[in-house]
Each structure stands twice: as structure tokens, then as C-alpha cells.
Amino acid sequence: MNISTFDDPEAVARAAAELIAADARAAVAARGKFLMAVSGGHTPWIMLKALATFDLPWEAIHVAQVDERVAPDGDKDRNLTHLTESLLSRVPIKPANVLAMPVTHPDIDAGAKQYATTLQTAGGTPPIFDLIHLGMGPDGHTASLVPGDPVLNVMDVDVSCTGFYQKRRRMTLTYPVINRARRVLWIITGAEKVPMLRRLRTADSTIPAGRVRQEAATVLADRAAAGA
């Protein structure tokens, strides 16, 4: 795990955008496409707005979701709402290359299976992401892999659904697909993250974030989260 520390969340966001842009160019040059998945959060929205300013081969870039709340289209709780505002509406990406989680499906578990198939079409069988962006909550959760939820033990599928967490069910990528990614990019900001960042660094498997493979992990943190 490589860890870099920056003065504030805005600096973290800019550095993250530069890293994603570099990975995108390299992946397109090497394999003809770049497949990434993004999480929600205030600093990531800044990151995505910065990424939108880069001159990238957008026609070869595919954007998926790490997780999503079960809520109507356009709802302010939906990560897709903010992803669209921050990035998708600002760049010439093909609509077919936007892989949105089907959380309005009448059968949410069937929607998860549908999304797993979508990922196979985009990333192979099994799907391999070039980059998966993750955040981490003060409780150590990442994606929608939350403490105590049965989804933590799902190892036979790449997409699953959770119980209720903060009043919403969620659809989420699971550990198998996250741990196959060529790069996991952690964006961690805020003083409330200090204890969990320490546990993440030691791969503490008692928190959900600690079960993500570290060999391909890059952590960008602000000084508050790093305790510096």
C-alpha cells in the first residue's frame, strides 16, 4: 500500500484526478479501454470535476459505480445524481459507456445479477477493473460493505445487495471484484478517519475496509485523516 498525504481535501482531489488521468491514458494505450468504478462522497465529487477538465480519450473510457442507494432516479441520495453533475455531463463520454447500477429494478436482487452481467460485458469474465475508487467511513465501511451486514461474506458473486444502512438498502461491488482491480484508489479525508486509516494500514480484517487487498492499493489522504 502506497500512502501520500496532502494539505487538504482539495489537494487530495486534484492529485487523485491526475492519477486517474494517467492510468486512463496508459490503459487505453495498452488495452484499448479504461474501466473504472467510482464511489460517492464530497471529496470525490471535487476529484471528478477536476478529472472532467483533462483531455482524455473519453470514447474509450467506461465508468461504473462501486455502490448505489436504492432510491428513485435523480434523487439527491443517489451517487449517480452527483456523478452525472460532477463528471458525466461535462465530458464527451458515450452513454453506453456509463454503467449505472439498476437500483430502480423492481427486484433489486435481480438487478444485482443484471449488473454483474453488465460488468462482464465491459470487463471480461471475470471482470477486471483498471481502477476502483474507494472511500472509507468512520465505522470502517467501504463501498457499501458495512459492519455486520451479510454482504461482507458474499464471495461467489461480484455484485450484491445490502440490508438497510442509514435508511436505505444498497447495491454494491463485493470483495472478489474489488480485489481483482489493477489499482484500488483510496480517497480518505477528515480527522474522524484517523483511527480507521491506522487500521487500514495494518490490514485489520475486523473492519470492512481492512479486507481489501493492499498490494494494488494507493491511498491519498489529507493531513487531518493522516493525523499529521
At residue 101, the pLDDT reads: 98
Residue spans of the domains in the chain: they are 2-226
User: Is a pLDDT exceeding 70 seen at residue 171?
Assistant: yes
User: Is a pLDDT exceeding 70 seen at residue 203?
Assistant: yes
Model confidence over 147-162: pLDDT tens digits? 999 999 999 999 999 9
For 76-86, what is the mean pLDDT?
A: 96
Instruction: Pick one of 3.30.950.10, 3.40.50.1360, 3.40.190.10, 3.30.1490.20 as the CATH number of 2-226.
Output: 3.40.50.1360
CA atoms within 13 A on the CB side of 216: 19
- Pair 16, 135: CB distance under 8 Å: no
SS3 187: strand
User: 78 is written with which cell numbers?
Assistant: 443517489
User: Is a pLDDT exceeding 90 seen at residue 167?
Assistant: no
Percent of the chain at pLDDT exceeding 70: 100
User: 77 is written with which cell numbers?
Assistant: 441520495
pTM over the 0.95 mark: yes
Q: Which residues contact 13 (CB under 8 A, 6 or more apart)?
A: 43, 44, 46, 47, 50, 187
Q: Count how many residues are written for the chain.
A: 228
